[in-house]
Amino acid sequence: MTDRLRHFLKSPVLWPLAGIFLLLVANLVLKPGFLTITVLDGHLYGLPIDVLNRGAKTLILALGMTLVIATGGVDLSVGSVVAITGAVAAVLIGQGTDSLVLILGGAIAAGGLAGLINGLLVARLGVQPIVATLILMVAGRGVAQVLTDGQVLIIKHEAFGFLGNGFVLGLPFTIVCATLLYLAVHFALRRTAAGLFIEAVGDNPEASRFAGLATARIKILAYVACGLCAGLAGVMEAANIGAADAQRAGENMELDAIFAVVVGGTALTGGRFLLLGSFVGALLLQMLITTMYNLGVPPAVAPVPKALLILTVCLLQSDRTRRWLGGLFKKKAAA
């Protein structure tokens, strides 16, 4: 038990968790009603629920991003892919497609295709990930705009809207969906050898190939998975606001996703990944955004707290600080 505790205390997940806790306390002090959750028509309402609800998209993106980052890559195109898939869904609905399966299938498949392109560029043609995905980041938004003809397409579809605004057992569907996806990905990676393969490829691609791993295929699959996640997030975004906005949907979301992953303890250099960390990281980010609304931070300086958060988490996670803190504790114990 103490062993487990010690293990937990060393885990990188601890810091983002602590961050969430601190923000919670700050919110509570400044706005005591923060944690209140009320029941309305059998649905739960309240800021904490909002945090979960809003964080769901970043969370889903962060799941896919974790895999890509673990292979030693990065996917800058997820924001654009969110726009594309939203546009695809809107266009399909606009053409009178009624089957939810078709709509979802079409939209998410578009995300998968985008991931496939990224994966092929990176793994087969050896283009550096930042560059390969930068291409789709630039071109992807154009594609989305061509699809929607530059308009904000309005989506009127009951079942589709449920994906963004529905409630299951009193909880927003988005967060239920994100949690299920998290569990699914977790088990798919840890109950099979897929997780190990991804970590191996990220740690040393050459050695992995020598050990008989299909390095290229593993990388491609990671990008495809990331694309699918972005597709799902895009569908959610479109369903949530009931419209596909090619210009602005998913803007800067790639940075949020990367942020969540890295704050969660997965190194950008690849190798070891921490899915749980990404989950917590995404929540931390959303918590921060909601806190800023709550505190009425002027919109113009909103990036500053974000910067301070990144710096704090980074510095706390570093070995140097830990050693220093460790030394402090020891001294106290001795005294």
Partner 1 sequence: MKAMLQRRLPLLTTGAIFAALFIAAGLKYEGFFSSNVAVNLFTDNAVLGLTAIGMTLVIFAGGIDLSVGAVAGFTSIFVATLIEQHGVHPALAGAAALAIGGALGAGMGAIIHWFKQPAFLITLAGMFLMRGCAFWLNTESVGINHPLYARAADIYWEFGPVGVPLVAAILAVGLIIGGVIGHTTRFGRNLLALGGNEQSALLMGLPVGASKVGVYAFSGFCAAAAGLVGTLYTGSGNPSTGIGLELDAIAVVVIGGTVLTGGRGHMLGTVFGLLIFGTIQSVLLFDGRLSPWWARILVGVLLLAFILLQRGLVRAVGKGK
Partner 2 sequence: MTAPSPLLTLRGIGKRFPGVVALDGVDFTVRAGEIHALLGENGAGKSTLIKVLTGVYEADAGEIILAGNPLRAKAPADAERAGISTVYQEVNLVPSLSVAENIALGRQPGRFGFLNWRAIRRHARAALARLEIECDVDAELGTLSIALQQMVAIARALDLKARLLILDEPTASLDEKEVADLFAVMRRLRAEGLGIVFVTHFLDQVYAVCDRITVLRNGTLVGEYPIRELPRLALVGKMLGREITATPAAATAATAATGTPLLSARGLSRRGALHALDLDIHRGEVVGLGGLLGSGRTETARLLFGIDPRDGGEIRMKDAACGLRSPRDAVQLGLAFCSEDRKSEGILPNLSVRENLIIALQAKQGGWRTISRAEQERLCAHYIAALRIKTANAEVPIRTLSGGNQQKVLLARWLATQPELIILDEPTRGIDIGAKAEIEALIGKLRADGIAVIFISSEIEEVVRNSTRAVVLRERRHCGEIPGAELTAARLMQTMAGGHVPHE
Partner 3 sequence: KTLTVGFAQTGAESAWRTANTDSMKNEAEKRGIILKFSDGQGKQENQIRAVRSFITQRVDAIVIAPLVETGWEPVLREAKRAKIPVIITDRTVQVSDESLFVCFIGSDFYTEGKMAADWLAKAVNGTGNIVELQGTPGSAPANERRKAFADGLAAYPGLKIIDSQSGDFRRSGGKEVMEALLKKHGKAIQIVYAHNDDMALGAIQAIEEAGLKPGQDILIVSIDAIKEAVAAVAAGKLAVTVECNPLFGPKVYDTVAKVLAGETVPKVSYNKDELFDSTNAAAALPSRQY
Residue 139 interacting entry, from partner 1, partner 2, partner 3, none, C-beta within 5 to 8 Å by type:
partner 1
CA dist 235 and 147 (Å) reads 15
11, 18, 313, 317, 332 from 328: Cα distances, Å = 19, 19, 19, 16, 6
Q: Which residues of 175-208 are buried (b: 16+ CB within 10 A; e: fewer)?
A: bbbbeebbeebeeebeeeebbebbbbbbbebeeb
Stretch 119-158: interaction string toward partner 3, x if CB under 8 A: --------------------------x----xxx-x----
The residue type at 282: A
Residue 203 interacting entry, from partner 1, partner 3, partner 2, none, C-beta within 5 to 8 Å by type:
partner 2
Residue 203 or 251: the one with the smaller Cβ distance to partner 3 is: 251
Nearest to 65 by CA among 108, 118, 10, 139: 118
Question: Does residue 325 interact with partner 1 by CB under 8 A?
Answer: no
CA dist 28 and 32 (Å) reads 5
Q: Which residue in the set 23, 107, 110, 249 belongs to the binding site for partner 3 (CB under 8 A)?
A: 249
CA dist 297 and 314 (Å) reads 23
Q: Which 87-126 positions form the footprint of partner 1 (CB under 8 A)?
A: 121, 125-126
Residue 204 interacting entry, from partner 2, partner 3, partner 1, none, C-beta within 5 to 8 Å by type:
partner 2
Compute, in degrees rounded to 10, the torsion defined by CA atoms 96, 99, 104, 106: -60
CA dist 79 and 138 (Å) reads 10
CA dist 34 and 172 (Å) reads 18
Q: Which residues lie below 8 Å from residue 268, measured CB to CB, with a gap of 6+? A: 69, 74, 258, 262
Stretch 194-233: interaction string toward partner 2, x if CB under 8 A: x-xx-xx--xx-xxxxxxxxx-------------------
Residue 193 interacting entry, from partner 3, partner 2, partner 1, none, C-beta within 5 to 8 Å by type:
partner 2
Q: What is the DSSP letter of 302?
A: T
Residue 3 interacting entry, from partner 2, partner 3, partner 1, none, C-beta within 5 to 8 Å by type:
none
Query: Least distance from C-beta 68 to partner 1, angstroms?
Result: 14
Q: Which residues of the shown chain bind partner 1 in the complex (CB under 8 A)?
A: 74, 76, 121, 125-128, 130-131, 134-143, 145-146, 150, 246, 255, 258-259, 262-263, 267-269, 298, 300-304, 306-308, 310-311, 314-315, 317-321
Q: Which residues of the shown chain bind partner 3 in the complex (CB under 8 A)?
A: 31, 40-41, 45-47, 50, 54, 145, 150-152, 154, 165, 237, 240-243, 245, 247-249, 251, 290, 293-294, 296, 298-300, 302
